[in-house]
Amino acid sequence: MKPARFEYVAPHSVDQALELLGRYGDGAKLLAGGQSLVPLMNMRLARPSHVIDLNRLPGLAYITEADGGVRIGAMTRQATAESSEMIRARYPIVTEALELLGHPAIRNRGTVGGSLAHADPAAELPVVVLALDAQLTLTGPRGRRTVPACDFFVGYLHTVAAPDEILTEVCLPAPPARTGSCFLEVARRHGDFALVAVAAVLALHSDGRCARARLVFGGVGPTPMRVERAEAVLVGHRPEPELFAAAAREVSAVLQPESDLHASADYRAQVASVLTRRALGMAFERVSGRERA
Amino acid sequence: MSERHVIQVTVNGEPHERLVEARKTLADFLRQDLELTGTHIGCEHGVCGACTVLVDDQPVRSCLMFAVQVDGARIETVEGLASGAKLHPIQEAFWANFALQCGYCTPGILMTVVDLLRRTPNPSREVIRRELAGHICRCTGYHAIVDAIEDAAARLRGPAITDAR
């Protein structure tokens, strides 16, 4: 359980990091918080020839307001995002998900960008950024490009980021008025990866009908999975338990989770359906409760 | 850039300068290079919490950082708690409440508690349990540990000031 040999370098600018990434190519790994990469290296599942440590880079850790939304620098620690009042006020679902991510000591090191770039389909943050229609900024030798979260995750531990690009920023767009959200997961132990996670976001019209819905699941496929057919069941209708149950039936019909050591496919599908009903109920209660208050 | 780097760190108030291999984890550096074997290594993938130390005041898994990354940092380990034979109040509370059996998980828990009680001098049992979630103890169950942390918090707050009137 010790990492294989590697060369270590800690650049002091994004440009320098890009130059190193270009020079060392496929053998290089970017080290952000290290809470996923270092376990893989300790187990020698990852054996990079070069480790490019982003922790000495200034200017990639920030949470700022932008056009009613929020921009989060990729090297922002998860613990910093968790305690951000701006994030809690606008995107309580982010805070809710972060509280389920690992443990406090993990979140002290782990970064927002690192978790997204690692793209574990059972991790919390990929599910949440997909549900919030976030935009992810990749910086490479050819400049910056912005990718919507729905195009970012392409497979198990695999994103659209090219080998010479660095994820530098996440932008969460301004949430629509009258939005309620909820993140729930079932895991064997607190802090574990989710067996199934769900992020539910409901935006209501002024007459109370559902204007927009997002239902995204973790742990049930090679990427975080958005179930548009279940969202379509909700849109245009008045939220109520029977409608949530209909959406949950759609979820079980669409998702095709796999069995593994931790849970069977049937169990995961059943949990996804139950969590759908609960999360939608909670999201609706939150938006309507806020209006009654 | 290379496989070996000179680092300077302050550990429990004492400065150290060492040449380290890039792949050496902070946990191994503390144990092997500085012979501070109080920091225990359990799972080596961030799950068990035994190797938790404070880096610039924050609890982190020392098995998931490389020593080369803490160049310039201030580190606190379990060895920094007692002064000579005099235990730290948190250690006294663990002793008094039978909060350890084999003791393997204890150093990591103690460092998390140091941080917790610096931030939160009077935590509820619920908060204590939430903060302890990243630590696995296979001996005692957690009741005695939670009791000890409540007791430690009281010891650190000092005797209650009673109204003289």
- Condensed to tens digits (0 to 9), the pLDDT of residues A108-155 reads 999 999 999 999 999 999 999 999 999 999 999 999 999 999 999 999
Find the radius of gyration of the CA atoms of chain B: 17
- B86: DSSP letter: B
Q: Is there a contact between B49 and B135 (Cβ–Cβ < 8 Å)?
A: yes
* Helix %, strand %, coil % of chain A (to 5): 40, 25, 35
Tell which B residues from 72 to 111 touch A, by Cβ distance under 8 Å: none
Minimum-distance CB partner of A105 among B2, B22, B61? B61
Mean pLDDT of B93-118: 97
Across the interface, whether the CB atoms of B61 and A1 are under 8 A apart is answered no
Whether B64 and chain A come into contact, CB under 8 Å, resolves to yes
pTM: 0.95
Nearest to B28 by CA among B6, B8, B53, B48: B53
**For residue range B74-96, what is the model confidence (pLDDT) as tens digits?**
999 999 999 999 999 999 999 99
Mean pLDDT of A261-278: 95
Minimum-distance CB partner of A6 among B22, B49, B60? B22
Q: What is the pLDDT of residue A289?
A: 80
Tell me the chain B residues in contact with residue A6 when contact means C-beta distances shorter than 8 Å: 3, 22-23
Q: What is the pLDDT of residue A25?
A: 85
The shortest C-alpha distance from B4 to chain A (Å) reads 8
Mean pLDDT of B93-103: 96
Tell me the average pLDDT of chain A.
95
φ, ψ dihedrals at A116, nearest 5°: -70, -45
Q: What is the pLDDT of residue B160?
A: 66
- Which tokens hold the place of B74? 């201030």
Q: Is there a contact between B115 and B59 (Cβ–Cβ < 8 Å)?
A: yes
Across the interface, whether the CB atoms of B22 and A5 are under 8 A apart is answered yes
Whether B45 and chain A come into contact, CB under 8 Å, resolves to yes
Q: What is the pLDDT of residue B161?
A: 62
Tell me the chain B residues in contact with residue A35 when contact means C-beta distances shorter than 8 Å: 46, 61, 64
DSSP string, B120-158: -SS--HHHHHHHGGG---SSS-SHHHHHHHHHHHHHHH-
Whether B134 and chain A come into contact, CB under 8 Å, resolves to yes
Q: What is the pLDDT of residue A247?
A: 98
Q: What is the pLDDT of residue A293?
A: 61
Nearest to A110 by CA among A143, A136, A75: A75
Across the interface, whether the CB atoms of A35 and B5 are under 8 A apart is answered no
Minimum-distance CB partner of B69 among A2, A35, A53? A53
Tell me the chain B residues in contact with residue A38 when contact means C-beta distances shorter than 8 Å: 25, 45-46, 63-66
Percent of chain B with pLDDT over 90: 92
Higher pLDDT pick, A188 / A165: A165
Q: What is the pLDDT of residue A189?
A: 84
B49: left (phi over 0), alpha (psi -120 to 50) or beta: left
Is residue B162 over pLDDT 60? no
Q: How many A/B residue pairs have CB atoms within 8 Å?
A: 91
Nearest residue on chain B to A192, alpha-carbon basis: B47
